[in-house]
């Protein structure tokens, strides 16, 4: 059985479609998104509809919390996050979908147990940058701990648990300019990180013409 892990789509439908096309060639059985489907970019409604159409199972990230109002954010970040704008753009079905997302999931398949969340357990805003931030007793209960939020891919092992971060679909921050995903083959007990080529220049040009924040453009263009 194969699973695909994605994260941090951030309303970037252009990159999501490229990622899903690549995943479609992998023969996966399930796709899981580790939060932050919305925020930053220009197609939140279409991204959510695409996730629903592809039966992508998702957890809630900090940007979903910002949008539904369960966590606050600094007002000066609005031009960057575009939360108010997206709240107005999304319809009732979109909002119900976001409100229904769990903060984490525990999934057991083929005798393997996966913990899926956006970042630190119980803290979707804090960054998990070092495995030492996680309690070893907690990790001992899982074969895989899957998280996002940093926008940087990671495959690591700690006290018998495999830590997986697929990086970001919508805003890669590893200076590769390539969105990424991870394939987990439960039968072979193997994990594979895959990066996908995208036309970042064309997308950045569209966003620049529409007046998007320079920081969000730089995140797509830097290497």
Residue 215: per-residue pLDDT = 94
Ranges of each domain in the chain: 2-221
Residue 129: per-residue pLDDT = 84
Residue 156: per-residue pLDDT = 94
**78 within 8 A of 40, measured Cβ to Cβ:** no
2-221 carries CATH number 3.40.50.11540: no
Strands 112-117 and 144-146: what pairing? parallel
How many angstroms from the chain centroid is the CA of residue 56? 11
Strand arrangement, sheet containing 104-109: 104-109, 112-117, 144-146, 161-166, 153-158
* Residue with token string 């998990």: 128
Mean pLDDT by 10 residues, the chain (223 residues): 99 99 98 99 98 98 98 96 97 97 98 97 89 85 97 94 98 97 97 98 96 95 90
**8 within 8 A of 170, measured Cβ to Cβ:** yes
Residue 97: per-residue pLDDT = 97
Residue 38: per-residue pLDDT = 99
Where helices occur in the chain by DSSP H, the ranges are: 13-24, 44-53, 62-68, 78-81, 83-89, 92-99, 136-139, 200-209, 214-221
SS3 content of the chain, % helix, strand, coil (to 5): 35, 25, 45
Please enumerate in sequence order all residues whose Cβ is within 8 A of that of 46, keeping only pairs 6 or more positions apart, or say none: 13
Residue 133: per-residue pLDDT = 84
**3 within 8 A of 23, measured Cβ to Cβ:** no
Radius of gyration of the chain (CA): 17
**116 within 8 A of 32, measured Cβ to Cβ:** yes
* Residue with token string 């924040």: 213
Centre a 10 Å sphere on the Cβ of residue 167 and count the other Cβ atoms it contains: 27
């Amino acid at each position: 059985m194969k699973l695909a892990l994605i994260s941090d789509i951030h309303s970037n439908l252009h990159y999501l479609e490229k990622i899903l096309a690549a995943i479609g060639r992998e023969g996966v059985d399930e796709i899981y998104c580790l939060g932050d489907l919305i925020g930053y970019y220009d197609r939140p409604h279409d991204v959510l509809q695409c996730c629903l159409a592809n039966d992508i199972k998702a957890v809630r990230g900090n940007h979903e919390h910002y949008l539904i109002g369960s966590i606050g954010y600094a007002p000066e970040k609005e031009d960057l996050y575009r939360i108010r704008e997206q709240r107005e753009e999304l319809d009732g079905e979109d909002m119900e979908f976001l409100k229904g997302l769990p903060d984490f999931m525990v999934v057991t398949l083929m005798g393997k147990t996966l913990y899926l969340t956006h970042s630190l357990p119980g803290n979707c805003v804090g960054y998990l940058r070092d495995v030492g931030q996680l309690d070893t007793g907690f990790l001992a209960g899982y074969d895989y701990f899957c998280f996002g939020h940093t926008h940087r891919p990671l495959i690591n092992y700690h006290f018998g648990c495999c830590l997986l971060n697929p990086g970001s679909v919508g805003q890669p921050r590893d200076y590769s300019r390539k969105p990424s995903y991870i394939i987990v083959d439960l039968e072979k007990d193997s994990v594979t990180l895959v990066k996908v080529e995208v036309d970042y220049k064309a997308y950045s040009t569209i966003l620049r013409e529409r007046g998007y924040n320079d920081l969000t453009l730089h995140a797509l263009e830097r290497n």
